[in-house]
Structure 1
C-alpha cells in the first residue's frame, strides 16, 4: 500500500516508520513545507497529487502539563485545524481508510478507571489539557460522523495512553513526564545533586506505554483493518504512581539520591488508566516492560547529538 503518515517527524511518526511491517509499504512522510496541515488548500493539493491508499494520522501539537497550561488557545485551535483539514480532505477526495490517533486526555477527569471507550463525552475534562482533549474528541467524532453518513469510509480511532520512547523530546518545559524525569535524574546524577524534586505528592497514577508498542498495534491494525474496532484504547492495562516512575528511572540511571515533593505544583488527574479489554479481545497486548522502555529511551537520550 501507499501509506501517508502525518506527523512523521515526531516521536510516534518515527516509531511507526521504522516498524518492520509498516516499512514494507510505500511511505509518504511529507514535511511541513510539503504539506502544511494548518492549510486546507495545501492538504487537499498534496492528497490529490499523491493519492494514498491509507492514512495514519499521528500529527498534532503536543506537550506536557506545563505547555498545555501556558498555551491553551494554541493547543485547541492548532489541533482543531490540523484534524479538520486532514480528515475533511480525505473525505472530500475519497481516501477511505484511516487510523486516527486520539489521546486518553479525551476521557472525563472523574470517570471511574479503567477508562472504557464508551466514556468519551460522558463528563468534564481535565482543565490542565482541556483544549488539546477537545480537539482530539472533535477528530474522533468527525471520523464517526463520516462513517455514519457514508459506510464506504472507514476512519477508525485508536486512543493510546500516555507515550514515551525513542525520538521523544527531553526539554523540561515542554516534554511529557518520563522524558523530563529521565533528563532531570540523569542531570542530578552527573551534577552530584543529593535531591530531585517531584511535583505534588507523587501519588497520582499514570499509564505510560513505550511508543514502539503503539507502532506495533498500528501495524496489526493495517494488516487486520477490517476487524479493527471503530474506537479502541491502546495501553498497558496497568498503571504506576508518579513516585514509582521516578524510582524506576532512578534505578535505570543509577541515581541514589532522595526525592522531595513540591505540594504547590499542579498534578493533573489523580488517575488515568485505559481499559485494554477491547484490544485484548481483538488480539493485541503491549510487549515492552517499563524498565526495558526506560532503558531504550535513556540510551537514545544519551546518544542525542552523537
Structure 2
C-alpha cells in the first residue's frame, strides 16, 4: 500500500514534472524518497539500472525521466528522442517486474493522438489516425510506453503499470532554452528578452491559430499521488489528464505579454509551421475517479514567470 513509509523513486527529479513531484511528495509527508541525477545514474544503461534496483528495493516509481523538447529538437533529432525514451522505458519496466515494484506511473503525451482528431480527444482515439510528423520519434516512443503498460498488466495479471497522458505541462524548472523548449516557456523567454531589449515588435512562428491545453506541473504531480493512493479504482487503460480549457497560441502570447509587461506589437510569421491544429483532451474518465486540478491558468503563469526571474537572477 502506498503510504508515508513507502520507498519511492522519482526518476528525473530535476526536471519540470520530477521537481514538482518531489516537492509535493515532501509536502504530503512522504520522506522515504530516492533520487539520482543523470550523472549518478544513466537510465539507458541496463547494467547500472539493475544494480540500482537490486540495492534499493524500490516499491513505487514515478517515471518522470525522458528526453523532451520542442519542435526544433523533435524535427532535427527524431532518432535520439525515439531511442533514449524507448531505452529508459524498456529498462525501467523490465526492472519493475524483476524486482517486484508495486506500482509504476508512466507519463504519455498528447502528441500520441492523431494530428487531425475529433476534439476533445478521448482515450479510445489513440492509433486512429496519423500523428504529427514533427514529433514522430518522440510520439512513437510514448505510444510504445502506453501499449507497454497495458501489455505488462495483461501478461502479469496485475495493475502494476499506470499510464497517464497529461496535456502540455508548464511550471517551475521548465526548459527555457529557445532551441529545445515548448511554446509556453519559449514565449516567456522571448517576451522577457523583448521587454529588456526595448523591442517595438516581436516575431512569432505560425499563424497563432492552433489551440493548446495547458496544465500546471504541480497539478500533474498531485494527480499522480492521487493515482498511487487509489490504485484500486484504476482500470488497465491510459488516462487523459487536462484542465478542459484550451487557448489559441495568440491568446497564450497575449497573456504572457501582459504578465511579463511587454507592450510591443506581436507579429506572426505564417511561413513557419503551425503544428497540430488543436489538442484538447477529454479527461472525464480520470476526473470521474474523484480528482480535479487546483491551479488555474492565470495563477500558474504568474508562478512560472516569477520562478523564471528568480532562477536567472533577472528583474
TM-score (norm 1): 0.96
Alignment match, 2:270: 263
Pair 1:134-2:140 in alignment:
yes
Alignment match, 1:102: 108
| Alpha-carbon shift at residue 32 of structure 1 (Å) | 2.2
Where does the alignment leave 5 or more consecutive residues of structure 2 unmatched? 1-5
Pair 1:247-2:249 in alignment:
no
Q: CA–CA distance in 1 between the matches of 2:169 and 2:118?
A: 21
TM-score (norm 2): 0.94
Pair 1:234-2:241 in alignment:
yes
Pair 1:8-2:13 in alignment:
yes
Pick one of 207, 211, 231 that aligns with 1:225.
231
Pick one of 79, 84, 90 that aligns with 2:90.
84
Kept after mapping to 1: 8 A contact 2:82/2:141: yes
Deviations 1:74-118 (A, max 9, x none): 011111111111111112222231111111111111121111111
Kept after mapping to 2: 8 A contact 1:22/1:219: no
Deviations 1:150-208 (A, max 9, x none): 11352010100011110111111111111110111111111111111121110000111
SS state at 2:231 partner:
coil
* Structure 1 residues 255 and 305: CA distance shift in structure 2, 3 A: closer
CA RMSD in angstroms, aligned pairs only: 1.3
Q: CA–CA distance in 2 between the matches of 1:126 and 1:3?
A: 35
* Structure 1 residues 11 and 283: CA distance shift in structure 2, 3 A: same
Pick one of 3, 18, 30 that aligns with 2:23.
18
Kept after mapping to 1: 8 A contact 2:210/2:278: yes
SS state at 1:44 partner:
helix
Alignment match, 1:32: 38
SS state at 2:292 partner:
coil
Where does the alignment leave 5 or more consecutive residues of structure 1 unmatched? none
Q: How does 1:144-159 map to 2 (within 5 A)?
A: 144-159=150-165
SS state at 2:163 partner:
strand
Alignment match, 1:280: 287
Pair 1:189-2:220 in alignment:
no
Kept after mapping to 2: 8 A contact 1:17/1:23: no
* Structure 1 residues 34 and 297: CA distance shift in structure 2, 3 A: same
